[in-house]
Amino acid sequence: MLARIQARRNKHSRPSSPTAPSSDEELEKQRVRHNPYETAQFVLVPMPLRRNAWEEGDAREFDVRSVTYLEDKVKTPSLPSVFQLLTCDLVQVDEPLLTGLCSHPSERIQTALREEQETGEQILPAFIYAVNLCVPAGTATYHWVAYFGIEDVSVLKDTSTPLGKLTEPFFFGDDDEVRNKAFKLIPRIVEGNVMVRKAVGSKPAVLGQKLKHYYTRTERFLEMVVDIGSNKVAQRIVRCAIGCAKSLTVDMMFLLEGDSAETLPEHILGGVRLTNIDFKVKDGQRKVVPTP
């Protein structure tokens, strides 16, 4: 499996890429990445989503546009994720928080930033990327948030690379429309009934073309809120998934679409696997109140 992934990647990727693993042994080492922040206070407080309900997804299991995609439509496995998954939240709100959780004064990111100012020590990774899905579910509204971190921000700002040509304007630019046109999701139902598999599918989708996005950006983080309720079809699919979430395992990979030779090959930013989410009893019971 790992040998086949490497062979396909070598055929359609730039051979000089300094981040490409060169052997099956290196690929295997990268399968499970140590999270140095796993026991950090900002990860554990407030209470995150139940730990055995989520894990970092393996980007290499997903095909993305290769360097030759515009010529031959060939896709190859992604390199390991650019960001590392830190933690996940699933919270309940009375009304959608379209400014997100990263800027909320009582939530984990702002609490950690205040502590950094008070102590002069770095607590958070150098940059945080948060994907926030705002999910209406009958009488309740949920926010599911995945927090990803990166230490070397220069990787995102280096516009001499295909990755940097996409990430620099996405994370540090002022144009939300550029972000809307670039952000892409690759879903995969690993375990679940046929109806949900058909509804969700596995085709990559540029969500900004179908759903409203809201962005909050600072020097230390970018949070994007994807409003599922802004599209009736998406809302029906998610409600269907919530109804049988306790028996679902779903992967979500997040990336930016490369649509020119200069922005290929694509590279998954981060991903997560969610397993057996229980909206009624175990999960999503923590409530967040909007700030005055």
What pLDDT, on a 0 to 100 scale, did the predictor assign at position 18? 37
Q: Which helix (H) or strand (E) holds 204?
A: none
Residue 14 belongs to domain spanning: 2-287
Cβ–Cβ < 8 Å for 75, 116: no
pTM exceeds cut of 0.85: yes
What token pair was written down for 161?
A: 């690379």
Q: Left, alpha or beta for 81 (phi > 0: left; psi -120 to 50: alpha)?
A: beta
What token pair was written down for 248?
A: 């679902």
| Residue at 102 is within a domain | yes
User: Using CA atoms, how far apart are residues 193 and 189, in angstroms rounded to an integer?
Assistant: 9
Sign of CA dihedral 215, 287, 84, 191: negative
- Give Cα 9 to chain centroid, integer Å: 22
| Residue at 167 is within a domain | yes
| Residue at 220 is within a domain | yes
User: Using CA atoms, how far apart are residues 48 and 23, in angstroms rounded to an integer?
Assistant: 36
| Residue at 242 is within a domain | yes
Taking CA atoms, 228 is separated from 53, 124, 144, 152, 260, in Å, by: 21, 29, 11, 32, 29
User: Using CA atoms, how far apart are residues 161 and 176, in angstroms rounded to an integer?
Assistant: 22
| Residue at 84 is within a domain | yes
| Strand runs labelled E in the chain | 54-56, 63-65, 75-77, 84-93, 127-137, 140-150, 183-191, 205-206, 212-217, 221-227, 249-256, 270-275, 286-287
Q: How many domains does the chain have?
A: 1
- Residue 281: φ, ψ to 5°: -125, -60
State the virtual CA torsion across 171, 175, 180, 185 in degrees, nearest 10: -10
What token pair was written down for 219?
A: 């020097």
Q: Which helix (H) or strand (E) holds 161?
A: none
User: Using CA atoms, how far apart are residues 5 and 26, in angstroms rounded to an integer?
Assistant: 12
What pLDDT, on a 0 to 100 scale, did the predictor assign at position 31? 52
What token pair was written down for 72?
A: 């031959």
Give the single-character DSSP code of 216: E
State the virtual CA torsion across 185, 287, 114, 215 in degrees, nearest 10: 30
| Residue at 66 is within a domain | yes
| Residue at 109 is within a domain | yes
| Residue at 292 is within a domain | no
User: Using CA atoms, how far apart are residues 145 and 48, in angstroms rounded to an integer?
Assistant: 10
Sign of CA dihedral 242, 244, 247, 251: negative
**How many residues does this entry show for the chain?**
292
Tell me which amino acid residue 105 is.
P
Q: Which residues contact 174 (CB under 8 A, 6 or more apart)?
A: none
Collapsing DSSP states into helix, strand and coil, what is residue 87? strand
- Give Cα 154 to chain centroid, integer Å: 19
Q: What is the pLDDT along the chain (292 residues), one digit of tens a residue?
A: 444 555 555 555 443 333 444 455 554 455 557 888 999 999 999 999 999 999 999 999 999 999 999 999 999 999 999 999 999 999 999 999 999 999 999 999 999 999 999 999 999 999 999 999 999 887 889 999 999 999 999 999 999 999 999 999 999 999 999 999 999 999 999 998 888 888 887 899 999 989 999 999 999 999 999 999 999 888 888 888 888 889 999 999 999 999 999 999 999 999 999 999 998 889 999 999 998 7
